[in-house]
Amino acid sequence: AETMPPKLIAHTGMDAMTHAIEAYVSTLHCNYTDAVALHAIKMIHQYLKKSYDGCMEARAAMHDAQCLAGMAFSNALLGIVHSMAHKTGAAYSTSHIIHGCANAMYLPKVIKFNAKDEAAAKRYAEIAEHIGLAGNSTEELVDSLIAELRSMNDKLNIPQSIQNYGAGGVKAETSIIDETEFLDKLPEVAANAITDACTGSNPRIPSQEEMEQLLKACYYDLAVDF
Ligand SMILES: [Fe+2]
């Protein structure tokens, strides 16, 4: 743990954040998973950047936080951020998309998509309030959470979308995931993501067209309004 490279800290930390947030809004969540998920989210929000910067107390806290997130998702399961990360991970000939980095890029897009479900939106708003974000309505709180996660990505040098996915999952001007290949494989990758085991506990089940739109939003950093 003391010798972990910063990139690995960033990716695994945002993976743990995704575990906790997906577990909290999962259709299988319960009081036990809610409690550990919320505390994990608060700890990761507080300590991940400090751990990335080399603080060893923060790194120890991140180990506890990722374990709490693991307790949450091993019972409540996950959602389509993970479905998309699983199925895009090894789909392209030029490079893998690293699991934690994929989650970090896709999570804000999926939150916007899932927030069309009223119950899910309320739960994202609860997360935002729990970590002290501002907002006078459910919608404002959801948008605050999305902005905060994108800000964490920026601070951790994680790209916001696949178009800036450089070698090793570091932010770059040019993506190592070829755009033409991405578009060619879009229907197949979307279909695979829908049938991934993590889709069943997501609060909103996407159609083929919606999953293709979501993946495109994750490539080009497009706004999600569907
Ligand atoms: Fe994961």
- The parent domain of residue 39 ranges over 6-220
- Tell me, what DSSP letter sits at residue 226? -
> 16 C-alpha to center of ligand 1: Å?
7
What is the rounded average pLDDT of the residues 168-173? 94
In a domain, 78, yes or no: yes
Q: What is the pLDDT of residue 152?
A: 98
Whether the Cβ atoms of residue 212 and residue 184 lie closer than 8 Å to each other: no
Query: What is the CATH number for 146?
Result: 1.20.1090.10
Q: pLDDT for 192-208, tens place per residue? A: 999 999 999 999 999 99
Q: Is residue 1 part of a domain?
A: no
Number of domains in the chain: 1
**Does 19 map to a domain?**
yes
pLDDT for 120 equals: 98
Kindly give the distance from the C-alpha atom of residue 224 to the centroid of ligand 1, in angstroms, as a whole number: 22
Best CA proximity match to 69, nearest among 30, 36, 108: 36
Between the CA of 189 and the centroid of ligand 1 the distance, in Å, is 18
pLDDT of 16 > 80? The answer is: yes
> pLDDT tens across 24-82, in order?
999 999 999 999 999 999 999 999 999 999 999 999 999 999 999 999 999 999 999 99
What CA–CA distance (Å, rounded) separates 152 from 18? Answer: 12
Integer Cα distance of 71 and 190 in angstroms: 29
Domain contains 69: yes
Residue 125 lies in a domain: yes
Q: What is the mean pLDDT of residues 15-20?
A: 98
Q: What are the pLDDT digits (tens) for 93-146?
A: 999 999 999 999 999 999 999 999 999 999 999 999 999 999 999 999 999 999
Band of residue 1 on the pLDDT scale cut at 50, 70, 90: confident
